[in-house]
Amino acid sequence: MTRLHPLFLLQVVTSLAIFLFIATTAWANEKPSRIVSIGGSITEIIYALGEEDRLVARDTTSNHPSVATALPDVGYIRRLSPEGLLSVNPDLIIAREGAGPLETMELMREAEIDLAEIPHGFTAKDVALKITSVADALGVPDKGAALADKVTAEIETAHASVGEGAPKRVLFVLSIAGGNITAAGDNTEAGAIIEMAGGVNALKGVEGYKQMSPEAVATSNPDVILVMDRGGDHGISLEGIKAHPALSTTPAAMNDALVKLDGMLILGFSVRTGEAVASLSQALATVGE
């Protein structure tokens, strides 16, 4: 029986150890390649980071950039089903804080699918944190830091260019379905973007999105009504506002002061927030004139 030389055995063991180390390190550093994005603001960030090739699906609110709509739609951000998410075989789900229901998200964890929940807020610092959190989940922190700095500078520039003069009272109307007015108060995306653009939230002092009584509409006394620019049955037109018994008597309706802007632009608090501040500020300065 031929005996192997001890030096040869040592070389074999060393080579095997090096191979296992390299293979293990490569596996540990491998980035997720089948990612589902939940939340329009999250999807915008992934595209802005240049990591969109790793996306395999998105939620219904992810409509910007428009090419994102070609991806499979796994459902609305707060009404996700386990079947929809699992159908695209993800290895990572990046979801905006508040996505759900909770039962679905818990099932994803039980299925051992990585889930990154991204904090959501209404300030420039919150936007920067959202960007860096998404970048960290993707494994590209340097890209995230650079993008966060860029977007922060854009927001600061837009805010600094807000016109002087008496700020206008702005009422963000989410819906007038069935004659019931749902509008934005404090601690809402709409309320925050109004103030960042130099306006005053006409429903300040009311928490969240609330249905308004005719008396509350009269008290809010808006100079401008802000709505999301969307078509179909969900769209709100100037004609509809002027025909509404409560809204028709407001200064905004009487002066045709209606501003329509893309919903994800003004409410997303993502990479386009600087653009949102600038667009809304300009619209407030000129509407009704």
Confidence band, pLDDT 50/70/90 cuts, at residue 29 = low
pLDDT reported for residue 181: 95
**Contact residues for 267 (Cβ-Cβ < 8 A; gap 6+):** 189, 190, 193, 228
Q: What is the predicted pLDDT for the residue at 288?
A: 72
Tokens of residue 217, six digits: 């509409």
Phi and psi of 224, rounded to 5°? -140, 140
SS3 65: coil
Query: How far from chain centre, in Å, is Cα 157?
Result: 21
pLDDT for the residue numbered 26: 38
Beta carbons of 267 and 227 less than 8 angstroms apart: no
Contact 120, 98 (CB under 8 A): yes
- Residue 163: pLDDT band (50, 70, 90) is confident
Higher-pLDDT residue of 209 and 31 is: 209
- 12: pLDDT strictly greater than 60: no
| Average pLDDT rounded to a whole number, residues 24-39 | 74
Q: What is the pLDDT of residue 115?
A: 97
pLDDT digits (tens, 9 = 90+) for 164-185: 778 999 999 999 988 899 999 9
Helix, strand or coil, per DSSP, at residue 71: coil
pTM comes to 0.87
Q: Is the confidence at residue 208, as pLDDT, over 90? A: yes
In the prediction, which pLDDT does 5 show?
Answer: 54
What is the pLDDT of the chain when averaged over all its residues?
90
User: Which domains, and CATH codes, for the chain?
Assistant: 35-160 (3.40.50.1980), 169-286 (3.40.50.1980)
Kindly state the helix (H) or strand (E) to which residue 169 belongs, with its residue range: strand 169-175
pLDDT exceeds 90 at position 258: yes
| Inter-axis angle of helices 40-48 and 124-138, nearest 10 | 70
The pLDDT of residue 40: 97
Q: Which amino acid is at 107?
A: L
CA distances to 44, 61, 163, 230 from 66, in Å: 10, 12, 32, 15
Complete DSSP assignment for 74-139: ---TTS--HHHHHTT--SEEEEETT-S-HHHHHHHHHTT-EEEEEP--SSHHHHHHHHHHHHHHHT
